[in-house]
Amino acid sequence: MSDFDVIVVGAGPAGSAAALEAARAGMRVCLIERGPFPGAKNMYGGVVYGRILDTLIPNWWEEAPIQRWITRRSTMVLTDSQALTIDFRTESWGKPPYNGATTFRPDFDAWLASNAEEAGATLICSTTVTGLLRDGQRVTGVVTDRPDGELTADVVIACDGVNSFLAKEVGLYPHTDPSNFTLGVKETLALPREVIEERFAVRGDHGLDIEMLGCTGDVPGGGFLYTNAESVSIGLVLSLPQLAKGGIRPEQRLARLKEHPAIAPLIEGGEVTEYSAHVIPEAGYNMMPELISDGFLVAGDAAAMCLAAGIWLEGVNFAIGAGAAAGRTAAGAVVRGDTTADGLAGYRTRLETSFVLADHRKLRDAPHIVMSDLAQQKVPKVICGMAEQVFTVVNPDPKPGMFKILWSELRRNKMGIRDAASHGIRAARTFR
Amino acid sequence: MSATNSSTNGPSDQRSRTSDPAGDMPTSRTVEASGRYAEMSFEARMDTVEFRVHERAHIVVDGRKCVDCSVRGCITACPANLFVPTADGGILFNYEQCFECGTCYMVCNEEGAISWSYPEGGHGVVFHAS
Ligand SMILES: Cc1cc2nc3c(=O)[nH]c(=O)nc-3n(C[C@H](O)[C@H](O)[C@H](O)COP(=O)(O)OP(=O)(O)OC[C@H]3O[C@@H](n4cnc5c(N)ncnc54)[C@H](O)[C@@H]3O)c2cc1C
Ligand code: SF4
Ligand code: SF4
């Protein structure tokens, strides 16, 4: 008999959700994490979208370690000296069941893992899985860096994050193409609660989420600024190949954003309490590996399930959704006594009928569009240029018409009207 | 294997950090002098992060391969600024303050120059407020 029915590698959101659901289904589950505690290795922008948690932990908002509930969401388009912001707020996101919330991953991941433990899973931290045990094609367990550290299981679920060496070991990723990945760098800046309330026009435990485009210079990417209880998180996401071409380093690009006239007053006086970095699988559906092998499932960032498409940066909810589906599928297969790839095939069906693969398939072109030269370099300049022309009073000249303004901005930024229209249509199709 | 048994993997005090290889960013001093946002030094930045350093180097760079590398993407891309070019065209690397992010092996263009693995369980970077 195997040591466990199910071994889950990685106690991030995917892994803890997988362990939680498998343990609830009566499985003997081992959840292995290389950090000294769950979340120790994990950083992200800062907002978890909780709807998927409703299905796992009723009233999760009463116990989850939340910093602020997002009730105000801004999308900011920047050039070096301009900024146009669309700002939305709603009180409904400030009460149950809420929408998004800022939380620190070392807190959130530890909390989610503790739910898996309460359901009966065995959590082992400070243990790195260094490889897989195999019987021919079939995965039969894991090798860890502990003395006598081999553990066997009927199903191994790889929730080991973006670098997933386990999915690579099974051969599910043909090769690693750096253009599918971005580097995220972030600073957590301490600010007093009252300063945050005043600067960001929020009260109590409500908070703001700003997504930015046009703030990464010649490297495709984006930026973010999120409010926590007594700090803000500010960061950049940068495409790897262009970043590696040389020139300006990640933290220097972040320093530039912090000096931008639209951003500097928001963060003034904020002391850096933590600098952090992590890689994101950016290309979504088009880079996803095979998800199933004999005795083996992949979930979360390990399977590139993070949705990074411009105005969205959602990975935690996708990881939880996928992990829960993997945990349930594994349990069903163990009970039926068939944990081959065929016996585990229901995993893909579960994902396809849920948001995890439905959203990804629908938005499969979005990462490419958002990271294109047009969206990154030209659109911000055209949008900000138009706004400046519309709002500049040119007396004694008469006001120029909107079409004339659009035309002149397209021309100034060397964008053909046909080019603009065809990209517009493509974007409209993708985001429809 | 220890960090110091390879000629290109020396301890951190042997290398000088160049936080602005391209020279097109204002240095912290010029920023302060111009009265704008005072950016912190790279050392101070890394001091905000906890690293539980293990004696085994989890990443080893074969500096001989770097001599033939024209791109040298690691130097700019590593968020911890751990790849320092040497006068003889090699790379000086130290694993101690590494985020374990994976950027370097993804952008490296010389097959086999970087041997990359995770640190021993419980070691390496520990985030608290991210
Ligand atoms: C800069 C940035 C900003 C982001 N912003 C957001 C955001 O605002 N909202 C959002 O929802 N998502 C965001 N994301 C995406 C989100 O962080 C990820 O999609 C999510 O963490 C994926 O969860 P996961 O469980 O699949 O992987 P991870 O969270 O990476 O967890 C993997 C776990 O496995 C462990 N592990 C790995 N290998 C091994 C091994 N060999 N042995 C043992 N343990 C191992 C790791 O230590 C880790 O705990 C952001 C990401 C970044 C980098
Ligand atoms: S990219 Fe690779 S081969 Fe080139 S200098 Fe960096 S580590 Fe060496
Ligand atoms: S893993 Fe990341 S932080 Fe560590 S050396 Fe490579 S690029 Fe730098």
CATH number for position B78: 3.30.70.20
Is the Cβ pair B77, A144 closer than 8 Å? no
Q: Which residues of chain A have pLDDT under 70?
A: none
Residue A36: phi, psi to the nearest 5? Answer: -65, -20
The partner residues of B85 in beta bridges, in order of sequence, read B91
A237 and A142 in one domain? Answer: no
Q: Which of residues 63-122 of A touch B (CB under 8 A)?
A: 104-106
State how far the Cα of B79 lies from the Cα of B56, in Å rounded to an integer: 21
Of B48, B122, B128, nearest to A126 by CB-CB distance is B122
What is the pLDDT at residue B4?
Answer: 37
B53 interface with A at CB cutoff 8 Å: no
In a domain, A94, yes or no: no
Residue type for position A374: L
A183 and A171 in one domain? Answer: no
State how far the Cα of A139 lies from the Cα of A153, in Å rounded to an integer: 8
Residue of B nearest to A103 (CA): B130
Residue position matching structure tokens 């908002």: A61
What is the pLDDT at residue A419?
Answer: 81
Max distance between CA atoms of chain A, in angstroms, equals 88
Q: Which two tokens mark B72?
A: 């040298």
State how far the Cα of A203 lies from the Cα of A226, in Å rounded to an integer: 15
B67 interface with A at CB cutoff 8 Å: no
Is the Cβ pair A183, B25 closer than 8 Å? no
| Residue B38 pLDDT class (50, 70, 90 cuts) | low
A263 and A379 in one domain? Answer: no
Residue position matching structure tokens 């894991």: A142
In a domain, A289, yes or no: yes
CB atoms within 10 A of CB A395: 6
Residue A84: phi, psi to the nearest 5? Answer: -120, 125
The residue out of A364, A383, A409 marking a domain boundary is: A364
B49 interface with A at CB cutoff 8 Å: yes
Q: Which of residues 204-233 of A touch B (CB under 8 A)?
A: 231, 233
| Residue B28 pLDDT class (50, 70, 90 cuts) | very low
**Is 60 exceeded by the pLDDT of residue B21?**
no
| Residue B35 pLDDT class (50, 70, 90 cuts) | very low
State how far the Cα of B85 lies from the Cα of B91, in Å rounded to an integer: 5
The residue out of A364, A396, A422 marking a domain boundary is: A364
Q: Testing the interface with A: which of B72, B103, B110 to mutate, by most A Cβ within 10 A? A: B103
Smallest Cα distance from B45 to chain A, Å? 6
Q: Which residue has the higher pLDDT, B14 or A30?
A: A30
Q: Which residues contact A123 (CB under 8 A, 6 or more apart)?
A: A11, A19, A31, A33, A38, A113, A116, A117
Is the Cβ pair A41, B124 closer than 8 Å? yes
The closest alpha carbon to A38, from A105, A102, A101, belongs to A105
Q: Whose CA is nearest to atom 51 of ligand 1?
A: A44
Q: Chains A, B: CB contacts under 8 A, how many?
A: 158
Of A104, A125, A248, nearest to B129 by CB-CB distance is A104
In a domain, A98, yes or no: no
Q: Is B126 helix (H, G, I), strand (E, B) or coil?
A: strand
Q: Which two tokens mark B42?
A: 């790279």
Q: Which residues contact A126 (CB under 8 A, 6 or more apart)?
A: A33, A34, A35, A36, B121, B122
A161 and A31 in one domain? Answer: yes
**What is the mean pLDDT of the segment spanning B97-112?**
95
Q: Testing the interface with B: which of A166, A231, A251, A287 to mutate, by most B Cβ within 10 A? A: A251
Range of the domain at B109: 1-130
Q: How many domains, chain B?
A: 1
Residue type for position A184: G
What is the pLDDT at residue A332?
Answer: 98
Is the Cβ pair B79, A264 closer than 8 Å? no
A122 and A56 in one domain? Answer: yes
Is residue A13 within 8 Å of A112, Cβ to Cβ?
yes
**What is the mean pLDDT of the segment spanning B22-48?**
62
B69 interface with A at CB cutoff 8 Å: no
Residue position matching structure tokens 């040119």: A394
Beta strand A29-32 with A4-9 is: parallel
In a domain, A203, yes or no: yes
What is the pLDDT at residue A311?
Answer: 72
B113 in contact with ligand 3, CB cutoff 6 A: no
Question: Torsion angle, CA of A357/A358/A364/A370, rounded to 10 degrees?
Answer: -110
State how far the Cα of A140 lies from the Cα of A189, in Å rounded to an integer: 45
A426 and A311 in one domain? Answer: no
What is the pLDDT at residue B30?
Answer: 38
Range of the domain at A17: 4-66+103-176+284-364
State how far the Cα of A250 lies from the Cα of A216, in Å rounded to an integer: 9
> What was the ipTM of the complex prediction?
0.96
The closest alpha carbon to A266, from A217, A310, A227, belongs to A227
Q: How many domains, chain A?
A: 3
The closest alpha carbon to B80, from A183, A216, A35, A178, belongs to A183
**Is 70 exceeded by the pLDDT of residue B8?**
no
Q: Which residues contact A353 (CB under 8 A, 6 or more apart)?
A: none
A304 and A396 in one domain? Answer: no
A150 and A60 in one domain? Answer: yes
In a domain, A89, yes or no: no
State how far the Cα of A362 lies from the Cα of A404, in Å rounded to an integer: 35
In a domain, A110, yes or no: yes
- C-alpha distances out from residue A260 to A85, A256, A318, Å: 14, 6, 32
CATH of the domain at A43: 3.50.50.60
State how far the Cα of A93 lies from the Cα of B51, in Å rounded to an integer: 37
In a domain, A206, yes or no: yes
Max distance between CA atoms of chain B, in angstroms, equals 48
A360 and A392 in one domain? Answer: no
B115 in contact with ligand 3, CB cutoff 6 A: no
Is residue A13 within 8 Å of A320, Cβ to Cβ?
yes
Cis before A97 (ω within 30): yes
Q: Which two tokens mark A116?
A: 């898996």
Smallest Cα distance from B11 to chain A, Å? 22
What is the pLDDT at residue A422?
Answer: 84
In a domain, A71, yes or no: no
Q: Which of residues 94-123 of B touch A (CB under 8 A)?
A: 99-103, 106-107, 117-122
The partner residues of A74 in beta bridges, in order of sequence, read A87, A210
B82 in contact with ligand 3, CB cutoff 6 A: yes
A410 and A334 in one domain? Answer: no
The closest alpha carbon to A21, from A354, A335, A325, belongs to A325
State how far the Cα of A256 lies from the Cα of A244, in Å rounded to an integer: 18
Among B15, B91, B94, B103, which residue has the most ligand 3 atoms within 8 Å of its CB, making it the best to mutate?
Answer: B103
A337 and A196 in one domain? Answer: no
Beta strand A4-9 with A150-158 is: parallel
**What is the mean pLDDT of the segment spanning B77-103?**
96
B72 in contact with ligand 2, CB cutoff 6 A: yes
A340 and A318 in one domain? Answer: yes
The residue out of A310, A345, A364 marking a domain boundary is: A364
The partner residues of B60 in beta bridges, in order of sequence, read B115
